[in-house]
Structure 1
Amino acid sequence: MTDRPRVVLAPDKFKGSLTAPEVAAALAVGIHRRAPGADVQCVPVADGGDGMVDAFVAAGWQRVEVAAPGPTGAPERAVYAVRGDTAVVELAAAVGVAKLPGGRLDPIGANTFGLGVVVAHALDNGAREVVLGLGGSASTDGGAGLLRALGLRLLDRDGRELGGEPSDAVALLSSVVAVDRAGLHPAIAQTRFTLACDVDNPLLGPAGAVAVYAPQKGADHAQMRELEAALTNWAAVLGTGYAEIGGSGAAGGTGFGVLAVLGAQVRSGIDVLLDLLKFPALVGGATLVVTGEGSLDHQSMHGKAPVGVAAAAKAAGVPVVAAVGRTLLSPGEIRAAGFAGCYALSDLEPNPRLSIRNAAALLERVGERIASERW
C-alpha cells in the first residue's frame, strides 16, 4: 500500500436509491475503514438529468432557491447552482416528474413554464452563461412553456396571444401560427446557452420526443398522436431544421425550443459538467478514480456519466473502476469502456429490492474491497 493514496470518488446517482453525494459518502466510509490514511475527494457527477445541481453545489457552487410553478402550475420551489456569471439550471429540479403533485402523470397538461421562471431569475441576477440540464421531464410541450416565461409570445391566426390558463400542450402548439420575439428577456442576446443532455433524439418521428418518451409520461396512443401533430406544427412555426438536430427531442422537445429561439449549443451532459468542474486538474496525480451508477449497461455507453468519467481519467493517466448497483456488461465490454474493474452491489446482495434498500451499507463494503485490492 502506498503511504497516502489519493482517491477521487466521482459517481452518479443510484436512481431510486441514493443521490450521487450519498453514493460518494458511502464509498468514502468504506475506503477509510480499510485505509484510514487515504486522501479521499468526493466529486459527485451527473449527466444532465436530476442531480446535476447537487453535483455543482457539492463542488462548492452557490445554491440558489427560487419560487417557480411546477409542471402542472402548482406553486413550488426550485434550485439552481451559480458561480460567477455561470448558472446551472436543472429541468428536473423545476418541472420534472418528481415535481408532479402526488406523482400523478399529466402527459398533456404538464409544461415547462416553471423552468423559464428559473432561467429568468438567473438572468436577472447576472448569469450570462446558462447550462440547462435536460432530463427527467414531465412534459412534452416543445419548450413552449419555458419560452413563454422568457417573454416569447405565441400567436394564433388572428394575431391574438395564446397561452391563457388553462392551456395544455396540444391546444397551445396546435393553434400557434407565429411567434413574437420582441418581448424576450433582454439579457438573452448577451447570454450563451448550452443544453446538457445524454440523448440525441430528434424532435419528431419514430425516434422523437413523443414516440420514445411520451409513454413514460403517461400518454396513451391517442394522446401520442395529438402530441406528435402539435409538435409538428410547432416545428413548422419555429423552423423544421432545428427539429432534426440530435438532442432537439430531449425533455419532451424542450431541446428544440431552446435551440430554435435561444441559439443554444447541444453538448453531452457529463462533458459539460467535467469541463466546468475542471475535472482533469482534479484527478491529475490521483491513485485511483471511482465512478459508477445504479446500472452499468449498454445504454451507459452512450453519453452516461461513468463512461465520461472513465474517459477523462484515462486521458489523465489515472486508472478508474466502477461501483454500480448491477452491471449487464461482460468483463470484456467493461474493459473496453475504460474500466480497470467493476464492483457490483448485486454480487453482494442478489435480491434487487434488498440491494436498493441497503445500498449505502453495501457501498461501504465495496469501498473496503476497493481499498484492499487497488493499492
Structure 2
Amino acid sequence: MDEMTQLRELRADAPVPDRAALAPGRERLTGTIAGRGRRTFRARADWRIASLGAVVAITAAALFVTQVVDTSDPRQSGPATVTGDLDLSSPSAALGRAADFLDRQEVPPEPRSDQWIYLREENPEQAEQWAELPAEIREDMQWSYSPDSWVPYDDKAAENDESDTDYRTARESYRIAADLPEDPEALLAKLRKVFPTGSGPDGPPEAKDEHSFRALSVLLGSYPLPPDAMARIYRAMATVGGVEVTDHLIRDASGRQVIAVTRDYDQGDTRREILIDPVDYSYAGERDVVTRTHEVSRPDGIEPTVHERGDILINVARTRAAVVDAKGQKP
C-alpha cells in the first residue's frame, strides 16, 4: 500500500461534512499551509490584564470553582463563579448572565500591529492521528500537529487572500466585532454577510439559523475580541433558533468543566457545541457530538463504521490565549 493510500484511509470512516462542519478545521488547516498558522482566536477576560490584582482575582475565582464543583460528577450544576451561581436553565439565562458580566469589564487597548497572537489548543484525537502517521509521511507533509501556535495580529497578505470566505485575521476579527450593532437581529444579519454561505463542494446553502450560528462560532473563535462586543454576540446567540444550553457543566478535551451552548446541524446526526468558561465567560473550545447512532459507509467494501450517540467527532479545548510581542513567546 502506498503512503497516500494509507493517509486517505486514516479517516475513511468519517462522515462527509457540510459547509458548517468544515469551516473550523478548514480555516485552521488552510491558514497553516499558507504560512499564517491557525486562524486567530478570541479573548479571555484576563487578556493583557492591567494589574496584578486582576490576575489574582481571576485565579482565585478559578480555584474557588474547582473547590465547589464535584469533579467526579460531570452533571453537577450551579457552581459559584465571579458572577454568582450559574443559571443554565435556558440560552437567554446563561448567555444573558455572561453578557452582563462582560459588559462590566474594561475594554483593553487594541493590540499593536507588530504583536502576535499565541494560542494553545488541546486536540487529543488530532494529536493521536498525527502520532500514528508513519515518519516518512509526517516528514513530507507541510502541516504538523502542535497545540501551540502563533499568528501575527496584523497580517496584510492574509487579509488580501479571498480564497476562504470564513477566514479573517486577528485584526479583521477584532474590528468586525467592535463594530457590531447592539440589536441582535441586525448583528446576525451583518455576520451572515461577513461569513457568507453558498453552494459547491462545501455543501448547499445553509438555512438562516444554521448560517447565523456558524457565523457566530467562527467569530467567537477569534482572539482577542473586546468584552463588550462579546456581550453583544452572546445576547444575539441566545436568539438563534434551535440554540440550547446544556443544563450541566460538561468536560472539555483538557478535563475542565465548561458551559456548552449547542445547536443540532440541520442535516445529519450531530450537533455543534460552543464551549464557554464558567468563570470569565471566555471562549473555551468546540465539540461536534453524535446525536443519533448511525452507520457511516466506507469505500472499497470495508465494513461501515458505527457512530454511537454521544461519540465526540471534534473535540478542541483552548487552554491559553494571549497577545505577545514575538513569535515563539509564551505568556
Common topology (TM > 0.5): no
**Which one scores higher on RCO, CA 8 angstroms, separation ≥ 6?**
2
Structure with higher helix content: 1
Give TM-score scaled by structure 2 length.
0.23
Which structure is larger by alpha-carbon Rg, 1 or 2? Answer: 1
